[in-house]
Amino acid sequence: MKKINECFICVECGKEISLAAKTCRNHCPFCFTSLHVDGEVPGDRASACKGMMYPIAYELKNSDYKILFRCAPCGKEHWNKRAEDDEIVSLPILIGKYKERFMK
Measured distance CA(71)–CA(19) in Å, rounded: 22
Domain chopping of the chain, boundaries: 8-99
Beta bridge partners of 57: 68
Helix/strand/coil for 66: strand
What is the pLDDT tens value at each position of the chain, 104 positions in all? 567 677 889 999 999 988 777 667 888 999 999 999 888 877 778 889 999 999 999 999 888 899 999 999 999 998 988 888 899 999 999 999 998 776 65
Measured distance CA(13)–CA(41) in Å, rounded: 26
User: Which residue, 31, 38, 37, is CA-closest to 54?
Assistant: 31
